[in-house]
Amino acid sequence: MSCAIQQSKVLVLNKSWIALGVTTLERAISKVASSYSDGTPKARIVDPINDFRSFDWSDWTKMRPKEGERGIKSVNFILRVPEVIQFTRYDKMPARKIHYNRRTIYLRDNNQCQYCSSKTELSLDHIIPRCQGGLTTWENVVVACIKCNLKKAGRTPQEAGMKLLKVPSRPKSNVFVTTIKVKSWEAFLGEAYWMTELDHDHD
């Protein structure tokens, strides 16, 4: 198996077709190839190309990649590379916690400075500066360009004669969309949250 194939990622769905996360190709195949004590496979491969039909490992090994598709080379034949698997019994929902990270803040603020709308040279700004007791919270941190950040310095927007485009608030749901682009995932992906948490003063 080539390094590129080994590094492939597979989307994982629960029994209710809700995306839980992303795993490695090796782990995905391991889940699909393993079974419960009654013989039920722990996971099946979902094929978006064939009307989202699901296949067990035995059926999948009989399928061959079409022209242009990637393949896993075995001793005697080439297998299609699975891109989506579904657990057959696991039905829990993904965590709904809204992660406080740069990506979420940038997406909440539409990737633009909240003072001048610039979309270049962006950073984060405390509305009430930390030197004035400002906290690191959803309501006190916004995206700002470097020029506005330097202009505002250690002052509040009012003190600097600046105005926010909108009042910042905690998002109602996770807004980060995975940067891994796989065409077959589009039907299943809504929101994800795979970014490192930032230190903040309130949950």
Contact of 29 with 6, CB cutoff 8 Å: no
Number of domain units in the chain:
2
Is 172 contained in some domain?
no
**49 and 123 together in one domain:** no
Which of 87, 113, 148 is the C-terminal boundary of a domain? 87
Query: Taking the complete model, does pTM exceed 0.75, yes or no?
Result: no
Q: Is the dihedral of CA 119, 120, 122, 127 positive or negative?
A: negative
CA distance 23 to 5: 13
Is 72 contained in some domain?
yes
**9 and 76 together in one domain:** yes
Which of 38, 57, 87 is the C-terminal boundary of a domain? 87
**123 and 149 together in one domain:** yes
Residue 110 sits in a domain whose CATH number is: 1.10.30.50
Contact of 108 with 175, CB cutoff 8 Å: yes
**83 and 14 together in one domain:** yes
CA distance 150 to 63: 59
Q: What is the pLDDT of residue 192?
A: 43
Is 146 contained in some domain?
yes
**82 and 109 together in one domain:** no
Q: What is the span of the domain harbouring residue 22? A: 3-87
Is 171 contained in some domain?
no
CA distance 139 to 127: 8
Is 22 contained in some domain?
yes
Q: What is the pLDDT of residue 95?
A: 60
**51 and 75 together in one domain:** yes
Is 189 contained in some domain?
no
**8 and 61 together in one domain:** yes
Q: What is the pLDDT of residue 111?
A: 92
pLDDT in 10s for each residue of the chain, 203 residues: 555 556 788 999 999 888 888 889 999 999 999 999 999 999 999 998 778 899 999 999 888 877 777 777 776 778 888 999 999 999 887 665 677 888 889 988 989 999 999 999 999 999 999 999 999 999 999 999 999 999 999 999 999 999 999 999 998 755 444 555 677 887 777 544 333 344 555 54
**72 and 106 together in one domain:** no
**12 and 76 together in one domain:** yes
- Residue linked to tokens 């002052």: 155
Is 118 contained in some domain?
yes
**146 and 111 together in one domain:** yes
Is 183 contained in some domain?
no
